[in-house]
Amino acid sequence: MTVTGKTWVRAFMTAVAMTVAAPAMSQDYPSRPLELLIPFSAGGANDQVARALASRLEGELGQPVAPINRTGAGGYVAAQEIVTSPADGYKLAHQSLGTFILTSLFDEQSVDPLEDIRYVAQMAQLTSAIAVSADSPYQTLEELLEAMRAAPGEFSWGHTGQGGFHHVNGVSLFQATGVDAVDIPFQGSSASVADLMGGHIDVAVLSSSNYLGFEDELRFLAFMSEERDAVLPDVPTVVELGIDMAMVETPSVVVVHKDTPDAVVDRLQAAIEAVVAQQDYQESLLQMGVSPIFATGEEILERIEINIPRWREVIDSTRETAN
């Protein structure tokens, strides 16, 4: 046999050995500690959700899960680390799906959120709500929208910044209901809450996490979601009110390298589902103002693919307005 032939045979046998070994490696998973990248600064709601998951995954997986903050670029710094790491399931990343997808729609990113990563499971969800101050005369969303339509350009509304899911939801709601209002971006929700309570803006798009601690100062009129919020279950949704708009709910999800073996993904998905079912995890999230909701990776991807065309349409309209 020639040298070339021997080299080819060795390469072939190595490939066969790796193929045979892969299922065994998956069956042993996990056999060492894992990392969970968090694309947000420490202390915020998204960071706390990821840490609540990580601390409980250890009990389900039998290995430590170290939360590591990797901030930047709307989640794409963490995503880039995922796609350049081995596809073995030992490096995970948390993503706030609304922000992650919307960032890619505003500007092309180095990672394709539909092709370059794999969605494992959802463990929580934040949704947008229309809020007014407690001393506002408007008790329902219908009353507020009627007043806003009667006075075009006289009402102001605040949100957490252009391109965020609160901004896109607000634009979509007002477009769907024929409202012309002054768009005022803030650096974070705390500033928009302060201006709303201070009477500097008329309306704000917030999450239920912003309501906690301000129960006597804020009134939530409707959530921009299909299902009622677990923290404020008495507040209706826009779907119940018959409003057809492009809604951007922002699930907290776990992602891995796109080539991660199915057996590993299945193991992670089952572990996350078990954590979300734990009563102490649910209570922990509700105390943060976050809904504990589980969904599979397939369900997450299906939701993205269905909604992207409508989200893109809203985003394009904001660009046209800016120009």
276-306 pLDDT per residue, tens: 999 999 999 999 999 999 999 999 999 999 9
Distance from C-alpha of 127 to C-alpha of 187, rounded to nearest angstrom = 18
pLDDT digits (tens, 9 = 90+) for 255-264: 999 999 999 9
In this predicted structure, the answer to whether residue 109 has a pLDDT above a threshold of 70 is: yes
With cut-offs at 50, 70 and 90, classify the pLDDT of residue 10. low
What is the gyration radius of the CA atoms in the chain, in angstroms?
A: 22
Q: Where exactly does CATH 3.40.190.150 map onto the chain?
A: 33-126+249-311
With cut-offs at 50, 70 and 90, classify the pLDDT of residue 13. low
Q: What CATH code would you report for 129-248?
A: 3.40.190.10
Q: Which of 41, 53, 87 minimizes the C-alpha distance to 252?
A: 53
With cut-offs at 50, 70 and 90, classify the pLDDT of residue 321. low
Q: What CATH code would you report for 33-126+249-311?
A: 3.40.190.150
- The pair of three-digit structure tokens given for residue 139, joined into one six-digit string: 């008790």
pLDDT digits (tens, 9 = 90+) for 210-234: 999 999 999 999 999 999 999 999 9
With cut-offs at 50, 70 and 90, classify the pLDDT of residue 17. very low
SS (H, E, C) 112-126: CCCCCEEEEEEEEEE
Q: Where exactly does CATH 3.40.190.10 map onto the chain?
A: 129-248
With cut-offs at 50, 70 and 90, classify the pLDDT of residue 182. very high
